[in-house]
Structure 1
Amino acid sequence: MAKEKKEPKLEKKTKQEKFIELAEGRVPKAIKQLTMVGNLSDKSKFEYTDKQVKQIYEVLHTALDQMKVRFEDGEAKDETFSCPDNT
């Protein structure tokens, strides 16, 4: 008869431990992505209008505000972003 392998019991993480683990992974990724958006400001590589920059500021500010609301009192709707053309 074959021996059954006993899998080690995985300790169930607390909600606090899961929060910390996910936050420590997600926050640095969000910061990196914001840095990459900031890299778009290099005028030697990119051309953009003040209107486009303002829209980026506004959509990021809105997303941050929505995240704050979710921590304070519940869910917020997701937003999508589309950069206006150069007109």
Structure 2
Amino acid sequence: MAKETKRERFVRIAVARTNRIIDNMRLLGNCSSKSNYEYTDEDVKKIFNALEKELKQTKNRFLGVDSKEERFTLE
């Protein structure tokens, strides 16, 4: 059995993690149903600001720029 290369391991893990993130974003989109949930425009703004900030930080890590991690909350 051949040992998995770093490239093969990256592709396998990156594909799985990216698809998991996409699936979770779709689940988050389900929260947009006004018939099932109540939220404010401010809530939506906070959610998307947090997502955009994390996406930018993650991209920067691939570019070699470090940043601190923060947890999201609506409270």
Q: TM-score, normalised by structure 1?
A: 0.79
What's the CA shift string for 1:53-78, capped at 9, x where partnerless? 10001000001001110111144322
Selected match of 2:27 from 26, 36, 41: 36
Q: Is the aligned partner of 1:12 residue 2:3?
A: yes
Structure number with higher helix proportion: 2
Which structure is larger by alpha-carbon Rg, 1 or 2?
1
Among all aligned residue pairs of Structure 1 and Structure 2, give the percentage whose two residues are the same amino acid: 39
Pairing of 1:69-84 with structure 2 (within 5 A): 69-84=60-75
Structure 1 runs (4+) greater than 6 angstroms displaced? none
- Name the structure, 1 or 2, with higher relative contact order (CA <8 Å, separation 6+): 1
What's the CA shift string for 1:3-29, capped at 9, x where partnerless? xxxxxxx42211111100101111110
Which stretch shifts more, 50-59 or 71-80?
71-80
- Give the superposition deviation at 1:79: 1.7
Unaligned runs of 5+ in 1: 1-9
Unaligned runs of 5+ in 2: none
Q: TM-score, normalised by structure 2?
A: 0.91
